[in-house]
Structure 1
Amino acid sequence: MAKVLRLWISLLRLIRAQNYTNGTACIRTHSVDLWLMKKGMTDYLLVAMQFALLGGILLMDGLLITTPDPVLKWAGALILFTGILTGIVAVIQMNRYLTVFPTPKKGARLLSSGVYSWIRHPMYTALILAGSGYALWSGSLLRLVLTIILLILFEYKSQYEEVRLSKFFDEYESYQKTTGKFIPRLQKWKEIL
């Protein structure tokens, strides 16, 4: 477990280094380049880590807390349903610009309506809600821990993504100021209430 944790930390440090060096970071072992981190490689690394964590959340069933209390089970089911619904809406709205990679597709446009008027990264929010809801519903501490690690990964991935979005879209910085990253800003909640 300690080796796996060190590997994840090393990968996150590599991603951070790549963000600050304009794609020139690389991993060297015995003077041989294993990966030359250029535009696109970090995208693949982030997506691979994301799918590994999602697979763990779905498939690993160890470390059960106990049989979940009925209230926790219902709360988990509600959170899971909210996550699934948010994800479906976000995917439908993203439509042909949908990509699992943080670098936008060519010809993409900035979405700032619908669920994207509330949250800049609703698909990440959906996966975090679904993962935590599933963890509560199943009573799995391991799933909850993996969901927290996924949240940390999404923080790194969204930082990487937002650098690219700012380069693609001039209006992205003003969009950032008015729209929350993973949860709606307070002013948006006031609009609801």
Structure 2
Amino acid sequence: MKKTSKDYIFVVIQFLLFGAYTFDFFQPLEIPHYLATFGMVIAFIGFMIALLTVFELKSNLTVFPTPTEKATLLTHGFFRYSRHPIYSGILMAAIGYALYKYSIYKLLIAGLLFIWFYLKSTYEEKQLAQKFNSYKEYQEKVGRFFPKLLL
């Protein structure tokens, strides 16, 4: 599938948000030590999910929301639980590290990343549904960022 200007816009803004996350313009808040520890655990788990998913994707990996020409639909590994496990891992890492650093600013950027990943994944899923006939069925079974809870 051919990349459009939307692909580039999604990626550029995503990386601008990553860049903004590296700074902090506010004083850290005072929070309990156990919350900082919890944040670091969440950040580590998120980082590992994102990293391991990169290896799962192999030749399917691209920063752009439009799938590559040779892309295959993955429904195993982390993709059994999340349609976008790299985004999930990045969000967990960003929120967890923000808690560890006691940073409202980093939490704000993580919130913006969540919104941006939601918009980007919505566009990406339209592309995937065009490429793969079984994508709609997969969408119904698997949560966007986190596992669907069966109640």
TM-score for both structures, normalised by structure 2: 0.94
Identity %: 37
* Aligned mates of 1:50, 1:134 — CA distance in 2: 18
Say which SS state the counterpart of residue 74 (structure 2) adopts. Answer: coil
Q: Runs of 4+ in structure 1 displaced over 6 angstroms?
A: none
Q: What SS does the aligned partner of 2:146 have?
A: coil
Offset, 1:54: 1.1
The code of the aligned residue for 1:54 comes to F
Shift, 1:70, TM fit = 1.1
Q: Does 1:166 align with 2:129?
A: yes
SS for the counterpart of 1:84 is helix
Q: How does 1:43-192 map to 2 (within 5 A)?
A: 43-57=7-21, 59-187=22-150
Name stretches of at least 5 consecutive residues in structure 1 with no aligned partner.
1-37
How far apart are residue 68 of structure 1 and its match? Answer: 4.1
Unaligned runs of 5+ in 2: none
Contact 1:62 1:140 (8 Å CA) reproduced? no
Deviation of residue 73 (structure 1)?
A: 1.2
Q: Which amino acid aligns with 2:45?
A: T
The answer to whether the 8 A contact 1:68-1:138 is kept is no
- CA deviation vs aligned residue, 1:109-145 (integer Å, no higher than 9, x gap): 0000010011000011111101101100111110000
Using the alignment, how far apart are the partners of 1:110 and 1:87 within structure 2? Answer: 18
**Contact 2:29-2:104 at 8 Å conserved across structures:** no
Deviation string, structure 1 residues 58-92 (Cα, Å, up to 9, x no partner): x2122134244311210110110011011012111
Q: CA deviation at 1:56?
A: 1.3
What is the alpha-carbon distance in structure 2 between the residues aligned to residue 157 and residue 182 of structure 1? 12
- Number of corresponding residues: 150
1:39 deviates by 4.7
Q: Relative contact order: is structure 1 or structure 2 higher (C-alpha 8 Å, sep ≥ 6)?
A: 2
More strand by share: 1
Q: Is the 8 A contact 2:11 2:63 kept in 1?
A: yes
TM-score for the superposition, normalised by structure 1: 0.74
Pick the structure with greater CA Rg.
Answer: 1
